[in-house]
Amino acid sequence: MTVNVVSTGEAFEFTPENVAWAKQQIAKYPEGRQASAVMPLLHKAQEQNGGWLSKEALEYVGDFLDVPYMRVLEVASFYTMYNLKPVGKHVIEVCTTTPCWLRGSDEVVAACKKALGIGFGETTEDGEFTLLEVECAGACVNAPVMAYGGEYYEDLDADSTTRIIEAIRRGEKPKAGPQIDRQASAPVGGPTTLQNIARGEG
Ligand code: FES
């Protein structure tokens, strides 16, 4: 696999607040194991850098942790939550792995493409939206699922997907979680087991 890294030619460094935050993360790990903080630091660098990691940001994280650039790039290029090229203001990630696919992710993908006018890996011309395809988001019980703004939008179909995108476009933060009448990951229609046990008995 070829990994393309984009250089902006501009130095990257954490804000003073993010330096303090990064040091707190590193302090969670034993002496000499600071490299274990690579993932939270990459997240913070991505957040500060407008949603993506430039070559300079990757190098900065490597220097901050005193680990080789290549080790940082290995992590950043393995996980889909790290973006190695510029993204739009709103990043929508649609899961298309088997459980989501079986539960209708094709419909969700089609609704996203129609509402945004772009395909996977693309950004709208106005720079507002990027659409990404991701592997299992770990929420299969509520498939099909998409992620946006640090939240999961679950139990989607074409209508709810379109509604969510339109709400984001209007500047709203749509309600996250199941988009059908379901409590969290409980069975649709309510509990199916242990219904006769009074509160406190178990
Ligand atoms: S397959 Fe989509 S959340 Fe697991």
> Are residues 109 and 158 both part of a single domain?
yes
Q: What is the CATH number of the domain that holds 125?
A: 3.40.30.10
> Are residues 101 and 167 both part of a single domain?
yes
- pLDDT of amino acid 66: 95
Residue 188 has pLDDT above 90, yes or no: no
Out of 108, 140, 154, 155, give the residue to mutate to test ligand 1, the one with the largest number of ligand atoms within 8 Å of its CB.
Answer: 140
Q: Total domain count for the chain?
A: 2
pLDDT per residue over 13-50, tens digit each? 999 999 999 999 999 999 989 999 999 999 999 999 99
> Are residues 116 and 150 both part of a single domain?
yes
> Are residues 67 and 95 both part of a single domain?
no
Which amino acid does the sequence have at 147? A
Q: Residues with Cβ within 6 A of ligand 1? A: 95, 97, 99-100, 136-140, 143, 145
Q: At what angle do helices 69-78 and 38-48 cross, to 10 degrees?
A: 80
Out of 132, 136, 155, 156, give the residue to mutate to test ligand 1, the one with the largest number of ligand atoms within 8 Å of its CB.
Answer: 136
Q: Does 107 reside within a domain? A: yes
> Are residues 44 and 95 both part of a single domain?
no
- pLDDT of amino acid 102: 98
Q: Does 6 reside within a domain? A: no
Q: Does 122 reside within a domain? A: yes
> Are residues 106 and 168 both part of a single domain?
yes
Q: Does 195 reside within a domain? A: no
> Are residues 105 and 159 both part of a single domain?
yes
> Are residues 108 and 72 both part of a single domain?
no
Q: Does 115 reside within a domain? A: yes
Name the one residue in this structure whose structure tokens are 């600071």. Answer: 34
Out of 102, 108, 133, 145, give the residue to mutate to test ligand 1, the one with the largest number of ligand atoms within 8 Å of its CB.
Answer: 145
Atom number of ligand 1 nearest to Cα 105: 2
The reported pTM is: 0.86
Instruction: Report H helices in 14-126.
Output: 16-26, 38-48, 55-65, 69-78, 98-102, 105-116
Pairing label, strands 151-154, 177-178? parallel
What's the domain range around 67?
16-78
pLDDT per residue over 42-77, tens digit each? 999 999 999 999 999 999 999 999 999 999 999 999
User: Could you tell me the distance, in angstroms and rounded to a whole number, from the CA of residue 20 to the centre of ligand 1?
Assistant: 35
User: Could you tell me the distance, in angstroms and rounded to a whole number, from the CA of residue 137 to the centre of ligand 1?
Assistant: 5
Q: Does 1 reside within a domain? A: no
